[in-house]
Amino acid sequence: MVRQMVVESVYCKILNDGGFRSDGRRQYELRDINIDLGQQGSADGSASVSHGLTQVLVSVFGPREAKMRSQTIHDRANINVEVAVAPFSTGERRRRGRGDKRILEFASTIKSTFEPVIQTALYPRSQIDIFVQILQQDGGVLQACINATTLALASAGIPLLDFVCAVTGGVHSTSPLLDLTTLEENDVPHVTVAVMPRTGKVTLVTMETRLHVDRFEDIFRVGCEAGKVIHKEMRAAVKERTRSVGSGGGPDVGDRDVVMEERMEDY
C-alpha cells in the first residue's frame, strides 16, 4: 500500500492527469532553445546555449601550439577540455574545484564525444582548447555542454565531420520523456544520446541510472529523432550568425565566419 502511494506521488509529480509535465510540456516536447554565437573575449569561437533554464557557455581557442611538449601529438591535434561550474548555478551553492570527480567525468565525456568528429589530422602537433562554463543547471546539463561545444567549434572555423546534437531522454512508467529537467532526472531513469544527423552515427550514449532493457530502444529512437530537431535549430543559428556578420563586422571575425558559412553546406 505504501509502495503504491509512493508510485502515485511520483506519477503526479512527473505527469498530471492531462498528460502534461510540471513545466507544461508534453512527453516529447523539448524546452525552448536559445543560442548566442556572439564573440567572447579573445576566443577563436564561442557559443552560449540554453535549454530551458539550463545555460552553458563554451569558448574555443586554437588550433594553436601546445603549451606543454608532452601534450604534442605528431600526426594530429590534441583536444583539451576543461569544465567549470559556477557556484550559483544550483540552489545548493556548492563550489566544485577542477579536481572534482564530476567535473573530470564531464570533461572526459565531452572529449571522447568530439575526438572522432573533429578533423584533428588537419592540425598535427597543435592543440585545441575547449573551455566549458556551466552557468545554470536545471537538467540536461551534458546535452547543453555538447550542443554548445559543437557550435563553438563551428564558430572557430574548426572542421567537423558533422554537427553533434545531444538530448536527454527518460522513461516514466512506460512513457518516454525528452529533455528532462532536474526534477525529472531525480525521479526517472534517463539516458543522454549524442548523434550526428547527417551521417546518422551516434557518438555518445551515457546512462547513470538503471533502465530496463525493454525501454532503452524506445528512448534511444526518440532521442535520435529529437537530435534532428535540435540540429535544425543549431544550423539556423549558425546561418543567422554568418548572415549578420557578413553584413557588417570586423575583418577578422568576417573571415572566420566566411569559412564557417562555406562549411555549412557539408552539415
Predicted local distance difference test score (pLDDT) of residue 4? 35
> What is the pLDDT averaged over residues 117-132?
96
Predicted local distance difference test score (pLDDT) of residue 152? 97
The kind and range of the H/E element at 151 are helix 141-155
At residue 132 the predicted structure's pLDDT band, cuts being 50, 70 and 90, is very high
Domain ranges of the chain: 26-266
How much of the chain is helix, strand and coil, in % rounded to 5? 40, 25, 35
Q: Indicate the pTM of the whole model.
A: 0.87
Q: What is d(CA 42, CA 37) in angstroms, rounded to the nearest whole number?
A: 14
Q: In this predicted model, what pLDDT tens digit does every residue of 147-198 receive, in sequence order? A: 999 999 999 999 999 999 999 999 887 788 999 999 999 888 899 999 999 8
At residue 116 the predicted structure's pLDDT band, cuts being 50, 70 and 90, is very high
Q: In this predicted model, what pLDDT tens digit does every residue of 23-47 receive, in sequence order? A: 899 989 999 999 999 878 899 999 9
Predicted local distance difference test score (pLDDT) of residue 209? 80
Which of 3.30.230.70, 3.40.50.300, 3.40.50.10860, 3.40.190.10 would CATH assign to domain 26-266? 3.30.230.70
Q: In this predicted model, what pLDDT tens digit does every residue of 69-83 receive, in sequence order? A: 888 899 999 999 999
Q: What is d(CA 45, CA 47) in angstroms, rounded to the nearest whole number?
A: 7
Which residue did the predictor score with more confidence, 238 or 262? 238
- For 18, residues 6+ apart whose C-beta sits below 8 A from its C-beta are none
Predicted local distance difference test score (pLDDT) of residue 265? 54
| Burial letters 10-20, b for 16+ CB under 10 A, else e | eeeebbeeeee
Q: In this predicted model, what pLDDT tens digit does every residue of 205-242 receive, in sequence order? A: 998 788 888 888 889 999 999 999 999 999 999 999 88
Q: In this predicted model, what pLDDT tens digit does every residue of 87-104 receive, in sequence order? A: 888 766 566 666 688 899
**Residue 252: is its pLDDT beyond 90?**
no
